[in-house]
Amino acid sequence: MKPVVIIGGGLAGLTLGIALRRHEIPVALHEAGSYPRHRVCGEFISGRGLETLARLGLCPLLDRAEAVRASTAAFFSETKSTSPRPLPTPAICLSRFELDAALAQEFSRCGGDLRTNDRWQENFGEGIVRATGRRLQPEENRSRWFGLKIHARNVALTADLEMHLSPRGYVGLCRINGGAVNVCGLFRRRANDSATPKNWREWLGGKTGSPLHRRLATAVFDDASFCAVAGLSLRPQQAGARPECCLGDAITMIPPVTGNGMSMAFESAELAVEPLAAWSRGEISWAAAQQQIARRCDTAFARRLAWAKWLQRAMLTPALQNPLITLAARSDWFWRTAFEQTR
């Protein structure tokens, strides 16, 4: 069998590596960093990705890492809130520190050749899959998107997931393994905005008097878990438009407000397994394998990317935040639809 080379050992790359090893395909995976490591992520896994993990037999691994089940959510603006409501489908929450390391360990256990601290700088040719995560985009529509995350203790949540909206972005709080709470925000900084917060505590801590500010008033932050990421592009892209065989965020980054990026990483990996196995066995050409993967991913993700773009725009428009929260509090249909459209 021809070997597959995966560049990027995040969720897409590791999941693909494990799945290919289950078909006894030789795999080398090059990862620029090492494990364990903290990542900017809401650490809230929802949607079909959980079914992918179950099909790949990876649920016991999540259980061993003490993933926390999330079954309720509540939404807040700076002045309004919903009460906690059941999620249409339960999600799970697990720190990326644990999740990525557990998948890396499983990949090695399955016989994968994991090369950490190894940044790929060569071309992407036949047999090489790009799972290198988001593409850098310093500015989009004269705004810069960036993410911040830190773990905290001593935070009493009213629901398993709390989403706090503000004019500059949103902060998600969820219970994760080990009794901690993940505090993760996505923010937009406009080119001409001079009155922006000065440090991460101000960005993540919310406006004085807001529900978010009250929630984090007694928080004890774990400084070692702090991380930040900038240069995010949230404009939907198609796999078919990419010159390389791409998976996960390397195809496109779905607006994080949907809590679906990790799912798309897992799902895209699963969708790639059959074409890559056929290429490895010499049954189809690399071009055919790449086309099949791109087509499968674009078909699977088109609807949710369109919905996510709309949802993110609405949730980050200050004038729409309170009406959306009222709608989410009153309408079962809206509540269910908001979550189910990204399944």
Measured CA to CA in angstroms, residue 224 lies from 38, 152, 204 at distances of 9, 11, 16
Smallest distance from ligand FAD to CB 114, Å: 11
Using the rule CB under 6 A, is 8 a contact of ligand FAD? yes
Smallest distance from ligand FAD to CB 310, Å: 18
- Nearest residue to 18 (alpha-carbon basis) of 95, 120, 92, 111: 111
Measured CA to CA in angstroms, residue 326 lies from 82, 330, 332, 342 at distances of 7, 6, 11, 21
Residue number with CB closer to ligand FAD (33 or 322):
33
Smallest distance from ligand FAD to CB 57, Å: 19
Residue from 5, 20, 40, 99 that binds ligand FAD (CB under 6 A)? 40
Instruction: Kindly tell me the sign of the dihedral angle through the C-alpha atoms of 110, 112, 116, 119.
Output: negative
Residue from 17, 42, 205, 211 that binds ligand FAD (CB under 6 A)? 42
Residue number with CB closer to ligand FAD (106 or 249):
249
Binding mask of the shown chain, residues 283 to 322, with x at each position contacting ligand FAD by CB under 6 A: ----------------------------------------
Using the rule CB under 6 A, is 169 a contact of ligand FAD? no
Contacts 24+ apart (CB under 8 A), 331-335: 335/85, 335/88
The tokens of 340 are what?
A: 């189910």
Smallest distance from ligand FAD to CB 205, Å: 16
83 Cβ partners below 8 Å, 6+ apart? 74, 158, 329
Residue number with CB closer to ligand FAD (25 or 251):
251
Q: Which stretch binds ligand FAD (CB under 6 A): 32-40, 218-226, 272-280, 328-336?
A: 32-40
Using the rule CB under 6 A, is 30 a contact of ligand FAD? yes
Q: Which stretch binds ligand FAD (CB under 6 A): 26-34, 58-66, 211-219, 274-282?
A: 26-34
Using the rule CB under 6 A, is 147 a contact of ligand FAD? yes
The answer to whether the CB of 39 falls within 8 A of the CB of 31 is no
Smallest distance from ligand FAD to CB 187, Å: 9
Residues 231-270 that bind ligand FAD (CB under 6 A): 232, 248-250, 256, 259-263, 265
Strands 143-153 and 220-230: antiparallel
Residues 177-196 that bind ligand FAD (CB under 6 A): 184, 186
Residues 59-118 that bind ligand FAD (CB under 6 A): none
Put the strands of the sheet holding 161-166 in their side by side order.
44-45, 85-93, 68-76, 161-166, 169-175, 181-190, 143-153, 220-230
CB crowding 226-241: b at 16 or more within 10 Å, else e: bbebeebbbebbebee
Residue from 133, 206, 211, 275 that binds ligand FAD (CB under 6 A)? 133
